[in-house]
Structure 1
Amino acid sequence: MNVCSSDASKQSDYDDLVVFYVCPVCGRYEIHFDLSSDEIDFDLNQLGSYFIYNGFKYGISERRYYSNRDKEWCDEWSNKCKEGDITHGHPVFLSKENVENWYPKIFSEKIDRILLFLNKEIKHIGEDVTLSKEELYSAFFVDRFDYSTGKREERDTDIQLKQANYMLDYLADRNYIRSNIGGNWWSDNNTTIMSLLPEGYARIDELQKSTANGKNVLVAMKFGEDTKPLREAIRTGICNAGYIAIFIDEVQHNDFITPELLKHIKNSKFVVVDLTHQNNGAYFEEGYAMGLGKPVIQLCRTGVNLHFDVAQKNTIMWDTESDIPQRLKNRIIATID
């Protein structure tokens, strides 16, 4: 069994009770217990969509993969991988809370997310995109599983197809997309070919201009072993406020780090900056965010002297990392929501 029902290779580690999957749709990930087990704590409908939008696809140089082992294990082997020890590759912690916060809660949000996905897949205006049924089901938020009885049951294939066609018809009725298979959605080999229409691109333009209305929050800080407790405290505060913390070293990207970083600042609703370590990068990222008119929430350990340019800003001063989650959550709710 695989999240998206496509053919995936898997390797079991019976000592640690984890299964490593390599899927053409979901990418590379490992999960405690086999996915067919009732012990799986994730909603597989949400997880399948999360993977196609955020997953690490197989590549010769790609060592990253999602793992729901404990956070400390993921951090340890992630750092070792960066230092050249590839025994366990580069695990990226997979959190149920992050998946749930990322997953769109309302229909219109799903439609907008689908349009942005298609725009990413279609490289040039007027071109087609071909999606397998497994890819489309994940990208179009089709519920493959029913949890209404308290346990996971796979839904009938006809019901899944009906839901997929409903989403396709909705997008077509609003002149966002069109089928390029002679009026049908599906070919004989269970793929669909579609393209975006001018009204679809117009909606995408609106969404890209207002991406800051989303849930992503870039965190600027010093990264390293010594700041792991700080990172997780900030992540918890942001997550508890209903947002998704973005740490640039955890993000899949092909660009140089600076363009990718600036893109995430631009696409964030607000930015959280910790200036405890007088990190030049954090100061730069805060300045860039402020130049874009983004709200910036500033943190710093008590006793650290801030640069005069930002010293007058209302700052969350903390003594220990345990101070951060609740204070940060409260500040977000008070100033952002």
Structure 2
Amino acid sequence: MKEYRYFTTMSKERCDEYKKNFEHGDVTHGHPVRLENENVENWYPKTFAEKVDNILLHLNSRIRHMGEYVKLPKEEMISCLFVDRYDYKDGNHKKRTDDAIQAQMNYMIKFLVDRNYILSPQSWNGGENDRPITLSPEGYARVDAIQKNTANGKNVLVAMKFGDDTKKLREMIRQGIMSAGYVAIFIDEVEHNDFITPELLKYIRDSKFVVVDLSHQNNGAYFEEGYAMGLGKPVIQLCKKDVRLHFDIAQKNTIIWETEEEIPERLKNRIIATID
């Protein structure tokens, strides 16, 4: 059975309901992974340049071979180009017309073509929404520069024990990272097609820094911290009081916590002081 995972801002109760249904064979609503509003706000590009970078990265992930053209489905194209579907006023939203949505798509495509980031024929047999697109050499050069500087971005890999007994700890760590302006990445929340270890190592390589909680003597967390340190990544270490750390890292400055509630503020302050 395929695992239809997707990110959503639906309520926690609704996500838990759909997830439980999915685990019992009812895949009608898929397997939702809940995002807090703060997650979306931290991820969503705040400038035009950031939108352009994300568009090029997505196109790069969809184009299998250089020079190959792709035709994105309408819904994917709208999302890829960061088109505003709604007008918001006084807490209400009204859907924009199809012409207004199409105008935004055309504007962004024209910009990318004019900057020579993408190649797309002026005319083709088909509708406006199945326009063939490929990256130009300049587009690939921009993608290379973006990927090279990924460590300057906002992603932060969190290494810790995952389970029902660490759910509260997970959310407190997430809160501390988000309040400092970064995005917490938990590998069990990430959609991927590869074996877990290569995907995990990729996220460590792409993270600006790594947060590790060693309260449960988790061998995986020790491994991930060692890999990050080997890459020269800053590592912020947490551990519950009275838990004995391995002697190799016992001398490292560690956030020692007694209750999960104290983690967000202390982690935020450590990030601001040592990373920013």
- The alignment's C-alpha RMSD in Å is 2.3
The equivalent of 2:262 in structure 1 is: 323
The equivalent of 2:112 in structure 1 is: 171
Matches within 5 A, 1:196-215: 196-215=135-154
Query: 162-171 vs 103-112, which deviates more?
Result: 162-171
Task: Please state if 1:146 is matched with 2:87.
Answer: yes
Question: Which of 113, 125, 130 is 2:71 aligned to?
Answer: 130
Cα offset, 1:157, TM superposition: 2.7
Cα offset, 1:169, TM superposition: 1.5
Task: Please state if 1:112 is matched with 2:53.
Answer: yes
Count, aligned residues: 274
Matches within 5 A, 1:257-272: 257-272=196-211
Matches within 5 A, 1:1-337: 60-66=1-7, 68=9, 70-71=11-12, 74=15, 85-86=24-25, 90-180=31-121, 183-184=122-123, 187-188=126-127, 190-337=129-276
Cα offset, 1:78, TM superposition: 5.5
Q: Secondary structure at the match of 1:171?
A: helix
- Stretches of structure 2 that go unaligned for 5 or more consecutive residues are none
Q: Secondary structure at the match of 2:65?
A: coil
Amino acid at match of 1:325: P
Higher fraction of helix: 2
- CA separation of 1:310/1:185 partners in 2, compared to 1, >3 Å: closer, same or farther? farther
Q: TM-score, normalised by structure 1?
A: 0.75
Distance 1:144 1:315 in 2: 46
Give a deviation string over 1:299-328, Cα, whole Å, max 9, x none: 001111111221121111100000101101
Give a deviation string over 1:87-122, Cα, whole Å, max 9, x none: 576432232221121100001000000000000000
Amino acid at match of 1:101: N
Amino acid at match of 1:170: F
Cα offset, 1:69, TM superposition: 5.2
Give a deviation string over 1:27-53, Cα, whole Å, max 9, x none: xxxxxxxxxxxxxxxxxxxxxxxxxxx
- CA separation of 1:116/1:130 partners in 2, compared to 1, >3 Å: closer, same or farther? same
**Runs of 4+ more than 3 Å apart:** 65-81, 84-91, 184-187
Give a deviation string over 1:223-258, Cα, whole Å, max 9, x none: 111111111110111111121111111110111110
CA contact (8 A) 1:133 1:192 kept: no
- CA separation of 1:201/1:145 partners in 2, compared to 1, >3 Å: closer, same or farther? same
Distance 2:10 2:100 in 1: 34
Distance 1:218 1:172 in 2: 35
CA contact (8 A) 1:289 1:296 kept: yes
- CA separation of 1:200/1:186 partners in 2, compared to 1, >3 Å: closer, same or farther? farther
- CA separation of 1:173/1:68 partners in 2, compared to 1, >3 Å: closer, same or farther? closer
Cα offset, 1:85, TM superposition: 4.2
Cα offset, 1:206, TM superposition: 0.7
Between 1 and 2, higher relative CO (CA 8 Å, sep ≥ 6) is seen in 2
Q: Secondary structure at the match of 1:104?
A: coil
Amino acid at match of 1:114: I
- CA separation of 1:214/1:86 partners in 2, compared to 1, >3 Å: closer, same or farther? farther
Distance 1:156 1:173 in 2: 26
- Stretches of structure 1 that go unaligned for 5 or more consecutive residues are 1-59
Q: Secondary structure at the match of 2:32?
A: strand
Give a deviation string over 1:284-313, Cα, whole Å, max 9, x none: 101111111111111001111111221121
Query: 272-281 vs 63-72, which deviates more?
Result: 63-72
